[in-house]
Amino acid sequence: MNQLEQLKQYTTVVADTGDFQSIKAYAPQDATTNPSLILKAVQKPEYLPLLQKAVAESNGGSTDEIVDRLLIAFGVEILKFVPGRVSTEIDAALSFDTEATVAKGRELIALYEAAGVSRERVLIKIASTWEGIRAAEILEKDGIHCNLTLLFSLCQAVACAEAGVKLISPFVGRIYDWYKKSTGTDYQGAEDPGVQSVKRIYQYYRTFGYTTEVMGASFRNTSQILELAGCDLLTISPDLLQKLADSDAPVERKLMQDGDVAIEKIAVDEKSFRFMLNEDAMGTEKLSEGIRAFVADSAKLKKMIEAMR
């Protein structure tokens, strides 16, 4: 078996792309999208018709409504190629507005259900701010499952688990980027700070019996992926999926169900969450940077739509 096939023995593999052909090629269980991936996809000729159709069927609706329809159109198509779930992201501009995030999550699920897609096959992606986590807590009680993204710190992971969130996406590569830039060290293997962060979260959840799924995300190389073999899920870009498929080197399970380190339970309320995140310079910077980047790409997508109306 190649490395991708071996990895699938230990971990649920998810495709991190809006490209249907890539999803079809690698046969993942689930797929994840975000504003940057959707923007990248609609700039390809083969996906432009989805954008044109969303605009044509808008009936004079707002640009935001067209964006929502486009997201659902991509999600519906992706679900034709995966047996599991698709993650659809809420506009990052709502990251600090709990009520608006809840409303948007309900709107997106309603659009999916109107398109014949069960809510069980959709994860609503929300930034792991305090407000986003509170919104996810409300949505989960509605039976709307959430994927908490832009997650860099243990306090974010703990708050998500205590809120009953279905799944979290701790970002490996962006953590690696920050530490490499700040220290000048090119971390390898188990020494990678991004890998260590996901391992710590995974073991914390196992130690205290949380059922929230852990999906490592944002990888820079296959070494980071292989160090997390055994994680609940890993969402991987097409280029790295191909590199795994091209190698037949052995893959060893690295994350086990039973933790082998002593972990102290931490209490997270709003004050302690904000303080712990503030104390984590990397987490604070990468969360803010991620929100800004997604907002910027959403703005570019909206400009494309406005130019077509």
Q: Where are the domains of the chain?
A: 3-308
Span 159-166, average pLDDT = 98
If you average pLDDT over every residue of the chain, what do you get? 96
Span 109-126, average pLDDT = 98
| Model confidence pLDDT, tens digit, residues 195-206 | 999 999 999 999
* Top mean-pLDDT range of 59-68, 95-104, 252-261: 95-104
d(CA 143, CA 141): 5
pLDDT of residue 309: 82
The two three-digit tokens of residue 88, written as one number: 């659809």
The yes-or-no verdict on residue 182 having pLDDT over 90 is yes
| Model confidence pLDDT, tens digit, residues 124-138 | 999 999 999 999 999
d(CA 27, CA 29): 7
| Model confidence pLDDT, tens digit, residues 208-266 | 999 999 999 999 999 999 999 999 999 999 999 999 999 999 999 999 876 556 689 99
pTM for the model stands at 0.95
Q: What per-residue string of b and e applies to 156-183 under the rule 16 or more CB within 10 Å gives b?
A: bbbbbbbbebbbbbbbbbbbbbbbbeee
pLDDT of residue 51: 92
d(CA 66, CA 274): 34
pLDDT of residue 58: 86
Residue 98 burial class via C-beta count within 10 angstroms: exposed 0-12, middle 13-18, buried 19 and up: buried
pLDDT of residue 262: 65
pLDDT of residue 60: 83
The yes-or-no verdict on residue 159 having pLDDT over 80 is yes
> Which pLDDT band holds residue 286 (cuts at 50, 70, 90)?
very high
Of 285, 305, 306, which is closest to residue 73 (Cα–Cα)? Answer: 305
Domain 3-308 has CATH 3.20.20.70: yes
The count of other CB atoms within 10 Å of the CB of residue 24 is 14
Q: Which residues are tagged catalytic?
A: 125
pLDDT of residue 258: 67
Residues of the chain with pLDDT > 70: what percent? 98
Q: 115: which residues sit within 8 A by CB, 6+ positions away?
A: 72, 76
Query: Which amino acid would we find at residue 231?
Result: C
The two three-digit tokens of residue 107, written as one number: 């709107």
- 3-state secondary structure at position 124: strand
